[in-house]
Structure 1
């Protein structure tokens, strides 16, 4: 493996940087010029819009309709997150060697059927926590398979010089969909009840599946005789991440961020609905404003990384994240505090999407096309795979002490990632690493 310094080029201007990576003149970004990327972006944003409505409706349904206790809330979180620990690595190995589009379509259709079960069982008078648990497990599994393709496929849809800009568009579209979905979910819950919001979720998955049929991919699946065995393919992905100097320091930082954020997020909606008495509308407003911050952070990420360097941008974003979460734990009921939480949450989400967009682009630039799925899913396994254990830990802490104790513990853990990045060499990354050959070039 090359030394870290060999992966950090001098800081050329944008035109020269594009030519250095591709050997061709710079390319301007246009959705019209990349129709498959536009179809992908539309479908994924539609899916997330429904998921965000789901994120508002599910805690409202569990707390306000089924009268959930903290243990049941933690169980829902564990079941939705457990598939990442079990399926992330096999999913990455699979999608690197098989056609990707059928996975996108199939996972969306399975998720649509699963979430539709909630309003259907409610119509039959059979809605219960076992139904919610089953839906959480099925949708969680479908999401792991879907994301294995949805993130790894971006380098196949745009040329390498446009990768960070494409990821910026993805991040901003997702944050906008998150905001609109939260508002839509809050509106449906307030007007029609929590159960009916799941029809919106099912419709969004169906639309995402249709959009996936419009995607055309340049990179072909490997012939059956050339495919690695599943175990060997998974090991290759782990080795690649462990031996890539730029990627390796990010993994423990992202893993700790996943643990800390999960300890907070398990009870965030519950805390807003019960302790702060925000109601479904207040929850939707706070969640929606946070999404607007995510749009801004994702859009600004390429410009900030170009000006200050990817390393300093990630370091600053990881550092801001825990600080901006403290007001939630100090808040009291009332509209003034909700306004404060909306504002700090928006800046926190801007930091999160800025860091996420930047680290993903760095990793994708350095990953060969044949390893994109495995590199992504190795990271997912090490980050999201810790979340079910963190959710279970949140339940234990809440049961033994209190919900705020679990959330303060998560905040303390979130202070560790910026310290790790500070002592690692990631902070020296003052420009985007040189890209490997992109799938588009490989196909040509």
Structure 2
């Protein structure tokens, strides 16, 4: 099951809507992830620990709402949940600019609104991931996931550059406002999706069934463990990226935006290459190879901080580009593998359980990065993050995924 034919004509309408919604959602995500820490760093002049805490607020949501969102995805209308989540997220992001304009913005206000936006964003992502296998033919999942993520990484290239321009020449709180505008497109695209065929449950779906399935399945469990540890390390690095570029390296918000925008080319390349890599090497082999490349690239993050000016930003750009390419290949291939393994009536709760365990490490990683940067400097945070990413590699390297060319589909 490594060949991934293109979606059938009857699936192209839903796929277009899914791609449009994902592109707009990712555009908002990039502006928010860049803008909210930038507001803390530049507008509020917050401490590294506060910056890490506010960044953690963006990633706290999976611990709070992933599991209920997965249950909703298996029981209710995905399109309505996705549209509502986009609306709520937009209101929370727009409120950041509103509070700033009134002169009331503080670290606590920013943290509260970041958490609210994160709750809505997590709900959207969990439900959207469950909607893809419900609307796409089984054999076309890989191609559909790759197309959706290719569009998403185009946003990842454009949005940070735009955000850097707004941060330098306008005001950092305008970034969340621009993100809020993008959520309107997400909501309207979600409403264009058809209602998928509902699965008949012998008994009411339960949250714990999804957790039990993921933990008991040998392949799902390996993917979960590797993803959770790697995300812990990556968030320690991501949380301190504004501090590294602006305070440690001495560049400005525009340089940060260009860095994140140009590195998005790695994500586009990774998403576009995923189907071909899977056909050539199989899902399991690609997941392992992407993990190895990502682990090696992570070491470039702390190395960049020790280099002279000019070289430092160049090596940081290389680290971000290669890491993003590896993460995207891993994400697209791993998500397709998980969807193929999972029974149809468990898709929402499976995605929710993964999000709860993996994205739930985000707040811990962000606070860890902030605490280490406050206590020992930004390089310490980057080294800790890189070593955690590297330590995650054996979890899939020493597993049945290595060399596995066909997915053992279970129904």
The interval holding the TM-score normalised by the smaller chain is: over 0.9
Q: Equivalences for 1:229-378 in 2 at 5 Å?
A: 233-331=206-304, 332=307, 334-378=309-353
The Cα of 1:386 is off from its aligned counterpart by 2.1
Alignment of 1:25-424 (within 5 A): 28-29=6-7, 34-220=12-198, 227-228=204-205, 233-331=206-304, 332=307, 334-424=309-399
Per mean C-alpha deviation after superposition, the further-off stretch among 319-328 and 167-176 is: 319-328
**Structure 1 residues 369 and 88: alpha-carbon distance in aligned structure 2, compared to 1, 3 A threshold:** same
The separation in 2 between residues aligned to 1:387 and 1:122, in whole angstroms, is 26
Answer yes or no: is the 8 Å Cα contact 1:34–1:157 preserved in 2: no
Counterpart secondary structure, 1:194: coil
- Residue deviations 1:201-244 (CA, integer Å, cap 9, x gap): 11101111111111103222768x9533xxxx111111211232
What's the CA shift for 1:348?
Answer: 1.5
Instruction: Provide the C-alpha distance between the structure 1 equivalents of 2:6 and 2:66, rounded to a whole number of angstroms.
Output: 34
Change in CA separation of 1:103 and 1:33 when aligned onto 2, cut-off 3 Å? closer
Whole-angstrom distance in 2 between the partners of 1:179 and 1:222: 41
Helix, strand or coil for the counterpart of 1:324? helix
SS in structure 2 opposite 1:431? coil
Distance 1:222 1:135, change over 3 A: farther
- Superposition deviation, residue 160 in structure 1: 0.7
Contact 1:277/1:333 (8 A) holds in 2: no
CA distance in 1, matches of 2:212, 2:11: 36
- Alpha-carbon separation, structure 1, partners of 2:10 and 2:314: 39
Residue segments in structure 1 that go unaligned for 5+ positions in a row: 1-8, 19-26, 437-444
Report if aligned partners of 2:284, 2:403 keep a CA contact under 8 Å in 1: yes
How far has the Cα of 1:328 moved from its partner?
A: 2.8
Could you report, residue by residue, the CA deviation over 1:307-341 in whole angstroms, capped at 9, with x for unpaired residues? 11222221121111132133332234633432332
Cα distance in 2 for partners of 1:348, 1:186 equals 21
Contact 2:11 2:137 in 1 (8 A): no
Aligned length: 409
Q: Using the alignment, how far apart are the partners of 2:320 and 2:183 within structure 1?
A: 27
Q: CA deviation at 1:254?
A: 1.1
Change (3 A) 1:49 1:326: same
**Structure 1 residues 286 and 31 mapped into 2: Cα distance closer, same or farther (>3 Å)?**
farther
Provide TM-score, normalisation by structure 2: 0.94
**Secondary structure of the equivalent of 2:173?**
helix
- What TM-score, normalized by structure 1, do the two folds share? 0.87
Contact 1:275/1:333, CA 8 A, preserved across alignment: no
Q: Which runs of 5+ in 2 are unaligned?
A: none
Deviations 1:285-316 (A, max 9, x none): 11012211001001101111111122222112
Equivalent residue of 2:198, what SS? coil
Residues 1:32 and 1:93: Cα distance change in structure 2 (over 3 Å): closer
- 1:435 Cα offset (Å): 7.1
| Secondary structure at 1:427 match in 2 | coil
Cα RMSD after superposing both structures: 2.1
Moved more, 106-115 or 425-434: 425-434
**Partners of 2:200 and 2:240 in 1: CA distance:** 43
Q: 1: distance between equivalents of 2:316 and 2:279?
A: 30
Q: Secondary structure at the match of 1:315?
A: helix
How far off its partner does 1:32 sit? 8.3
- How far does residue 103 in structure 1 lie from its aligned partner after superposition? 1.0
1:188 to partner: Cα distance: 1.9
